[in-house]
Amino acid sequence: MRSILAALAALSLTVASSLADEALQKFVYEKAEMGLPFRISLYAKDETTAKAAAEAAYDRIAVLNSILSDYDSDSELSRLSQTSGQGKAVPVSNDLWNVLVKAQEFAARSDGAFDITVGPLVNLWRRARRNHQLPSPEMIAEMKARVGYKNLKLDPEHRTAELLVPEMRLDCGAIAKNYAVDEAQKVLKQRGITCALIGGSGDMTATDAPPGLPGWRIEVAPLDAPGAPPAQIIYLKNYSIATSGDMFQRVEIDGKRYSHIVNPHTGIGLTDHGLVTVVAPDCMTANSLTTSISVLGPERGLKMVEATPGAAAHVERMPGDKVELYESARWKDVPKAEK
């Protein structure tokens, strides 16, 4: 009798839950922030609730942009860069601190493959992309002298940051965007939105699954190379995904393809054609790992992934004329769907 009651109780909970799910509607918003479109898909009981939550999330992203933008010379990040080499330890806000600490953690773990001080080199290669002209070796050497994560000194006791070398420039582009995605998701949760997907330029973080689905269906584009595996669809739930590759951001000069990702050690845009996909508990971690793998290569990069709790990675690369596949041990556990 007790078990029947328990079963009935369980059934009524399921019915209530599915009725509640049925009452939820999907709303999608898109807004340009941090120089790229941020897309929010969420489930809410009505449009007023959805819109208010999305606006609050976008407000949070806008605040983070004013702190972390490397385009805005008045942002806190830019102002910090402007103090480089002046012997100043600058007090920083909680948000900037969070990003800098995470960045330095991954810089140390990746032996500098992931490095937010790479700004001068990134700018050089951005210009190369626009002008279709390789930077000179002299210019690369000059910019490399301003790069190095060990030249960014953080003082946890006083929450200050100091850039030790003149003309350094921090580039928090991707990690800042992914921090914003994580933070925006927190805002939605605070407003009672527990089923949402937020994406900034393809990197995404999801909370609960949409009604009736095991997760948010995310299609990861295939590597644009002959013989590459087809697109994958994975289910994302209370997890984040980030990708990195040269499919859409690259420059081809004299028949050689250079990625927008610059190796901080060589100062050269990566020439390996590849696509790295990482899932991790948060978007900042996922992004830091994709960049690290891209620069370090799959063998060393995947070791980093294995050592990161909850992270999994899939790597496709074509160093020559053949596509190579690599996966971390946990990748097989990532829920996937047939297309």
Residue 327 binding another protein, by CB under 8 A: no
The residue range among 34-42, 94-102, 291-299, 308-316 that interacts with another protein, by the rule CB under 8 A, is 34-42
| Residue 245 binds another protein (CB under 8 A) | yes
Least Å distance, CB 13 to another protein, is 29
CA distance 249 to 181: 21
Considering only residues 221, 225, 228, 268, which one is a binding residue for another protein as defined by CB under 8 A? 221
CA neighbor of 24 nearest in space, from 163, 159, 212, 160: 212
Residue 291 annotated as binding?
Answer: yes
Q: Is 32 in the site for another protein (CB under 8 A)?
A: yes
Residues within window 267-296 making contact with another protein, judged by CB under 8 A: 275, 277
Report residue 16 CA to chain centroid gap: 36
What binding mask, one character per residue, do residues 67-106 give for another protein by CB under 8 A, x or -? ----xxx---------------------------------
> Near another protein by CB under 8 A, which window of 101-109, 126-134, 155-163, 266-274?
126-134
Say how far apart CA 110 and CA 264 lie, in whole Å: 11
Other residues' Cβ atoms within 10 Å of the Cβ of residue 157: 5
Which listed range, 33-41, 106-114, 155-163, 325-333, lies at the site for another protein (CB under 8 A)? 33-41
If 0-12 CB within 10 Å is exposed, 13-18 middle and 19+ buried, where does residue 109 land?
middle
Question: What does the alpha-carbon distance between residue 257 and residue 320 come to, in Å, rounded to a whole number?
Answer: 12
> Is residue 174 part of an annotated ligand binding site?
yes
Long-range Cβ pairs for the range 15-19 (8 Å, 24+): 18/211
Stretch that binds another protein, among 157-165, 247-255, 299-307, 311-319 (CB under 8 A): 247-255
Q: Does 202 interact with another protein (rule: CB under 8 A)?
A: yes
Q: Minimum distance between the CB of residue 62 and another protein, rounded to whole angstroms?
A: 13
DSSP letter, residue 230:
-
Q: Burial of 246 by CB count in 10 Å (0-12 exposed, 13-18 middle, 19+ buried)?
A: buried
* CB atoms closer than 10 angstroms to residue 177: 26
**Do 182 and 205 meet the contact criterion of CB atoms below 8 Å apart?**
yes
CB 203 to another protein: min, Å: 7
Q: State the binding site for Mg(2+).
A: 174, 291
Binding site for another protein (CB under 8 A): 32, 35-37, 39, 41, 71-73, 120, 122-124, 126-127, 130, 132, 143, 167, 169, 197, 199, 201-204, 216-221, 233, 241, 243, 245, 247-249, 275, 277
